[in-house]
Amino acid sequence: MKQHILPAIRLTAVTLLFFSGVYTLAIFGIAQLFPNHGRGEVIEQNGKRYYANIGQSFTDDRYFNSRPSAVKYNASGSGGSNKGPSNEEYLGVVQARIDTFLMHNPDVRKADIPVELVTASGSGLDPHISEKAALVQVNRIAKVRNVSRQKLQQLVNEHIEGPLLGMFGPTKINVLKLNLALDQLK
């Protein structure tokens, strides 16, 4: 028994030191190489500070809608709804989101609504939507703001972010950055 306990204790001690010390310092060191030193991307505009890496609620018809959040955009408690796609309550929530979207976007067909506009992400804090999700909202925003659709489509195209390293993940648009740029349009 002694021959099994001592190696287990040593392995536990080495693992504890590695993951609480060496690994933590390595990740901290890598973070120092990036802008904001691993503290996230902060945008300051009109005297307000925004965190671009955290989803935020945009429901006003003047703005591009963000992805719904199961945690009401509370960054201290990220998480999904934990309800499966066959859960009646969850299906009711999604249907209510679809109905609300169609009420605010009457020229959009139900089949054309991108899924991320009616379902929350796993963290509930996803700051991005797809290009399709932004473009499907252009007509509503053009009418409300009295701006040409072409100008809004150009704005959307200017805010498309490519996949990580050009190959990992989809193209996406940060809703906060897009809406802040929308407020700067003349």
pLDDT at 51: 84
Q: What pLDDT digit, counting tens, does each position of 74-106 carry? A: 888 888 778 888 899 999 999 999 999 999 999
Query: Region 16-38: what's the mean pLDDT?
Result: 88
Q: What pLDDT digit, counting tens, does each position of 42-75 carry? A: 888 888 888 888 888 888 999 999 999 888 888 8
Q: Model-level pTM?
A: 0.81
Query: What are the DSSP E strand ranges found in the chain?
Result: 42-45, 48-51, 128-129, 160-161, 172-174
pLDDT at 22 > cutoff 80: yes
Burial class of residue 85, CB neighbours in 10 A (0-12, 13-18, 19+): exposed
Q: What pLDDT digit, counting tens, does each position of 149-177 carry? A: 999 999 999 999 998 888 898 999 999 99
